[in-house]
Amino acid sequence: MKTLILVEGISDKHFLKGLAEKLKTNIKIQIMRGNRPNKAIRLVKSILKTQPYNKVIILKDLHRYTEEKVKKQIRKIENAIEKLGFTAKGIIVKKAMEAWLLADPEAISKIVKHKVNVGNPEEIENPATYLDEIMKKCGKRYIKGSEQIYKLAKHINIENATHRSRSLKKSLKTLKDP
């Protein structure tokens, strides 16, 4: 059985696609298209009617709303999915999925060909901008929404990254749990 993962945007989808290939795991990634829980619930209902999934994971970024508001949105989606008889688990991505890339500065260093130092990646206010600033130093750019994040995700060392990112560690544990 597959796991259905709901994400907020195209960058998230590309990142998870790269990560799933690296982990050799069977997932379906669906973009929620907006932050309204009712819209996400309708989307999941329509998908679950036609395709069986053993669980649904909801990944929500923390860069636009307070943690309490995001938790409330996640709980509403989880409850609706569980009423349908499916397992649902929401995870807050602190601040955005680019922080998961920044959680392995060694991998970023290899790509940009110079040493990169990153403090706590989950405390960086705008990880996409931060990643772009790193890339600029070697004459490259990070363009949010491009497939570039897919390629970057395939280079991260999972063990290194999960030591530095609690939300990535929690996401991977949830993905592996039955």
Q: What is the pLDDT of residues 158-175, one digit of tens each?
A: 999 999 999 999 999 998
Indicate if 143 and 76 belong to the same structural domain. no
Radius of gyration of the chain (CA): 16
- Domain residues for the domain of 85 are 2-96+167-176
Q: How far apart are CA 98 and CA 83, in angstroms?
A: 32
Q: How far apart are CA 18 and CA 23, in angstroms?
A: 9
Indicate if 139 and 150 belong to the same structural domain. yes
Indicate if 6 and 60 belong to the same structural domain. yes
pLDDT of the residue at 145: 84
Split at pLDDT 50, 70, 90, the class of 111 is confident
Q: What is the pLDDT of residues 9-34, one digit of tens each?
A: 999 999 999 999 999 988 999 998 77
pLDDT of the residue at 146: 85
Tokens 């970023």 correspond to 108
Indicate if 72 and 136 belong to the same structural domain. no
Indicate if 39 and 116 belong to the same structural domain. no
pLDDT of the residue at 175: 87
Q: From 34, 11, 36, 16, select the one nearest 26 (Cα to Cα).
A: 16
Indicate if 6 and 53 belong to the same structural domain. yes
Q: Residue 37: pLDDT above 90?
A: no
Indicate if 104 and 91 belong to the same structural domain. no
pLDDT of the residue at 63: 73
Q: What is the pLDDT of residues 68-85, one digit of tens each?
A: 999 999 999 999 999 988
Indicate if 116 and 64 belong to the same structural domain. no
The total number of structural domains that make up the chain: 2
pLDDT of the residue at 1: 65
Mark out the alpha helices in 93-165 (DSSP H runs). Answer: 98-102, 105-112, 127-136, 148-153, 158-164
Task: Enter the pTM of the model.
Answer: 0.90
Residues contacting residue 38 through CB under 8 Å, at least 6 positions apart = none
Indicate if 66 and 112 belong to the same structural domain. no
